[in-house]
Amino acid sequence: TVVNDHDFPSHGNGFVIPHGIYDVSRNEAALHLNTSHDTTAFACESIELWWREQGQAVYPKTDELLILCDGGGSNSSLKYLFKEDLQALSNRLNLKIRIAHYPPYCSKYNPIEHRLFPHVTRACKGVPLECLETAKFYMAKTETTTGLNVVVRIIDKVFETGRKYAKSFKENMKIQFDEVLPKWNYTAIPQPG
């Protein structure tokens, strides 16, 4: 296979969008791949898939999750659509979901950035990722000397772009904002359906 030594999106036939969840205490990760769009729905579906297939089994008695998020992207602290999708996820899972966003330009301090993604990149080094299954195969080979375990799944779904949060959500949302740095720290509490 002939490949370029740099990425040129204009020459590509597609792209892979990864969404990762890294469990700091267990040195385990879930990496979900999609080829649609990086949306709030994709971020929340990724969290739900991790919880149902991994998290719930290892934390059966928990009633609250703490998720460290970067400040931008699909799970941006500024997006009410993320908060609305997060509230719906909290309701479906019947879990409190506490979010702590890193301030802008501080994502380098997020453990996922130095404990997962560099190792995933290394596992794919020099490999032409010609299809989603190839990306999944090599990403699943990610390992470290400290025993990092990575489970890779494909979420084969088209995520809609251009969605807007419900007009009444901002006024009626049940998200509880922290007293300290409420812009970046808040909790979705499950609501009776």
Tell me the one-letter amino acid at 3: V
pLDDT at 152: 98
pLDDT tens digits, 38-79:
999 999 999 999 999 999 999 999 999 999 998 888 888 989
Q: What percent of the chain has a predicted confidence (pLDDT) above 90?
A: 77
Tokens 């040129």 locate to 8
Residue among 156, 177, 151 nearest 42 (CA): 156
8-state DSSP, 76: -
pTM of the predicted model over 0.85: yes
What is the rounded end-to-end Cα distance, in angstroms, of the chain? 54
8-state DSSP, 109: G
Helical H segments across the chain, by residue range: 40-50, 56-58, 80-93, 111-115, 117-123, 132-139, 169-172
Whether the predicted pLDDT of 32 surpasses 80: yes
Q: Which of 167, 164, 141, 47 is nearest to 98 (CA)?
A: 47
183 phi/psi in degrees, rounded to 5:
-65, -30
pLDDT for 105 equals: 87
- Tell me the average pLDDT across 172-183: 93
Q: What is the structure's pLDDT at 31? A: 97
- Give the pLDDT confidence score for residue 30 in this predicted structure: 97
Helices and strands: H and E segment counts in the chain: 7, 7
- Predicted pLDDT at 129: 87
The C-alpha atoms of residue 13 and residue 91 are separated, in whole angstroms, by 38
Rounded CA separation 5/70 (Å): 29
